[in-house]
């Protein structure tokens, strides 16, 4: 646990009082039990509070853990005139996110075909470190991807217009400028569109196990026993390179500013500066690449289900329930102390959670709130929640994004030495295929916090309300 002094405000909120150069307090949403697993992410919450133009508080969700500069699970909003943008507040995997695909199938309808289905998905969806896709993009076409996002994929037959309606921001972030993306980033991204990647990225067949909010579940089209697919991926090497390029640039730039920051990993630029605008333009390109990537992964998943189960699109009824991003900085208009303000909101390992009635939501979900997708580890499954007014009032419309690591990948590999992880999961009814045993050992369930405990905090704190719990039955990983 960090040595940063904390005051418990109520059952689920912990406060770091402003000291030294902190401009605002830090607020951590967590339980007493989860705070026992807190690491140096607590100090990073305090560090972020030193950044100029930060509004109200430096925030962290219950899945918080140490990251680059900002904690993973961190949320911070900045004034457009006086505030900054920081690549560390977005992360290396720009627009790493999730999309949940609902089907008309029940689990008994796929039980006998599950092994074949997992094997076919593993065969048809490129995954793993450095994996490349079947597309051969020209430079000109890649630039279209970076500007148009998921709309580019749909326009070329990889999905339908209805997919865009249930993708955050329609699958396209405005302001993207490919001229701000380095040749190296473009080179890394060109062969990787339509690939899952490695690490904690996955494609998982899940079954709706519990319904907590029947009204919201009906609006989302979820019912007990229903088969769903969760896709978790991001912007691949392109997004990583964009982050790396701008960190190198802004580490030098921040030395020219009259700022006393506690950590060089908080490298930043004022939002109104050329450097800040360049980063936002390049980041938007990576975000759009990620949305196009997940759109294509979903398209090939649909095709794989059709061929393996020998069922047509109407029988399968595979539709995008929602797509949310986790690592991004976005210009949003939000209520702050009784008035609307336009801010740059950094969500790093955090998910947007807009409330009922918000105009950004699709008509079908507006009465119940935004679907909030919370994936767990490969042995747990996932949650679907709905956004709330309290999130808008307290956390800039944000919630947690997953379970959050408690072990580094190195620690996980060391602790799982000699174990047959795939066999252990199979004995629990979860079929897993991965490019290598090392990936499974890095991603053992014990490497993560208790997902139920994390979700319980955001539910009981009122940041998002539980709608459904999904049980994992088949998973492919890079």
Token pair 């400028």 in the structure block, residue: 177
Q: Where are the alpha helices (DSSP H) in 326-469?
A: 389-394, 409-415, 421-427, 437-442, 451-460
Distance of CA 206 to the CA centre of its chain: 18
Cα angle value 171/461/343 (rounded, 5°): 45
Tokens encoding 270: 């004022």
Residue 326 appears among annotated catalytic residues: no
* CA separation for the pair 158, 300 (Å, rounded): 8
Q: How does pLDDT run across 117-151, given as a tens digit for each residue?
A: 999 999 999 876 667 777 888 999 999 999 999 99
Contact of 229 with 101, CB cutoff 8 Å:
yes
Torsion of CA 403, 404, 407, 413, to 10 degrees: 70
Least confident of 60-69, 189-198, 249-258, 284-293: 189-198
User: What's 395's domain CATH number?
Assistant: 3.90.1860.10
pLDDT tier for residue 329 given thresholds of 50, 70 and 90: very high
Q: Which tokens is 337 given? A: 């102390």
Q: Looking at the predicted structure, is the pLDDT value of residue 378 above 80? A: no
Q: Which of the following is catalytic: 65, 253, 326, 401?
A: 401
Which helix or strand (DSSP H or E) is residue 217 part of? helix 214-220
Query: In the prediction, which pLDDT does 448 show?
Result: 85
469 vs 128, residue with greater confidence: 469
146 and 181 Cβ atoms separated by less than 8 Å? yes
Average pLDDT, the chain: 94
Both tokens of residue 47? 């560090």
* Residue 24, domain extent: 7-477
Please tell me whether residue 204 adopts helix, strand or coil conformation. strand
Indicate whether 1 belongs to any domain. Answer: no
Give residue-wise pLDDT tens across range 400-443. 999 887 788 888 888 888 888 888 888 989 999 987 778 888 88
Is residue 2 domain-resident?
Answer: no
Helix H or strand E encompassing 425: helix 421-427
In the predicted model, is pLDDT for residue 1 greater than 70?
Answer: no
What pLDDT, on the 0 to 100 scale, is given for residue 395?
98
Contact between residue 450 and residue 403 where contact means Cβ atoms under 8 Å apart: yes
Mean pLDDT of 223-237: 97
Q: What is the pLDDT of residue 306?
A: 97
Number of domains in the chain: 1
% of the chain residues with pLDDT over 90 = 83
Residue 394 maps to a domain = yes
Burial class (CB in 10 A: 0-12, 13-18, 19+), 423: exposed
Q: For residue 365, is pLDDT > 80? A: yes
pLDDT grade for 112, boundaries at 50, 70 and 90: very high
Give the DSSP letter of residue 169: G
pLDDT at 317 over 80: yes
């Amino acid at each position: 646990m960090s040595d940063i002094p904390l005051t418990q405000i109520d059952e689920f909120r912990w406060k770091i009082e402003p000291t030294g150069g902190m401009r605002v307090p830090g607020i951590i949403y967590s339980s007493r039990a989860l705070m026992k697993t807190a690491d140096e992410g607590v100090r990073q919450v305090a560090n972020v509070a030193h950044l100029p133009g930060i509004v109200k508080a430096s925030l962290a969700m219950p899945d918080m853990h140490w990251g680059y500069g900002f904690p993973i699970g961190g949320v911070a909003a900045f004034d457009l005139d006086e505030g900054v943008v920081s690549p560390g507040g977005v992360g290396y995997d720009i627009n790493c996110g999730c999309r949940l695909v609902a089907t008309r199938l029940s689990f008994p309808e796929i039980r006998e075909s599950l092994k074949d289905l997992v094997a076919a998905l593993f065969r048809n969806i490129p995954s793993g470190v450095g994996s490349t896709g079947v597309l051969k993009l020209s430079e000109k076409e890649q630039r279209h991807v970076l500007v148009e996002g998921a709309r580019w994929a749909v326009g070329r037959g990889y999905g339908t217009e209805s997919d865009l309606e249930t993708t955050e921001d329609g699958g396209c972030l405005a302001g993207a400028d490919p001229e701000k993306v380095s040749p190296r980033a473009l080179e890394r991204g060109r062969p990787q569109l339509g690939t899952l990647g490695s690490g904690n990225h996955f494609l998982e067949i899940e079954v709706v196990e519990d319904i907590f909010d029947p009204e919201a579940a009906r609006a989302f089209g979820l019912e007990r026993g229903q088969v769903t697919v969760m896709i978790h991926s991001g912007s691949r090497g392109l997004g990583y390179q964009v982050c790396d390029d701008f960190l190198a640039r802004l580490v030098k730039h921040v030395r020219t500013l009259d700022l006393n920051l506690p950590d060089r990993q908080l490298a930043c630029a004022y939002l109104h500066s050329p450097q800040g605008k360049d980063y936002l333009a390049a980041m938007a390109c990576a975000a759009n690449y990620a949305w196009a990537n997940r759109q294509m992964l979903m398209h090939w998943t649909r095709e794989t289900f059709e061929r393996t189960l020998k069922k047509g699109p109407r029988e399968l009824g595979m539709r995008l329930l929602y797509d949310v991003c986790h690592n991004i900085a976005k210009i949003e208009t939000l209520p702050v102390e009784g008035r609307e303000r336009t801010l740059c909101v950094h969500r790093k390992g955090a998910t947007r959670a807009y409330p009922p009635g918000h105009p950004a939501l699709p008509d079908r979900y507006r009465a119940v709130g935004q679907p909030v997708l919370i994936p767990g580890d490969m042995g747990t499954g996932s949650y679907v929640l709905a956004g709330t007014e309290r999130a808008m009032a307290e956390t800039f419309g944000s919630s947690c994004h997953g379970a959050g690591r408690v072990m580094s990948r190195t620690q996980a590999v060391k602790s799982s030495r000699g174990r047959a992880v795939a066999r252990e999961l199979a004995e629990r009814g979860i079929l897993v295929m991965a490019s290598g045993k090392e990936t499974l050992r890095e991603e053992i369930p014990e490497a993560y916090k208790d997902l139920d405990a994390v979700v319980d905090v955001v539910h009981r704190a009122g940041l998002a309300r539980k709608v459904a719990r999904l049980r994992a039955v088949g998973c492919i990983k890079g």
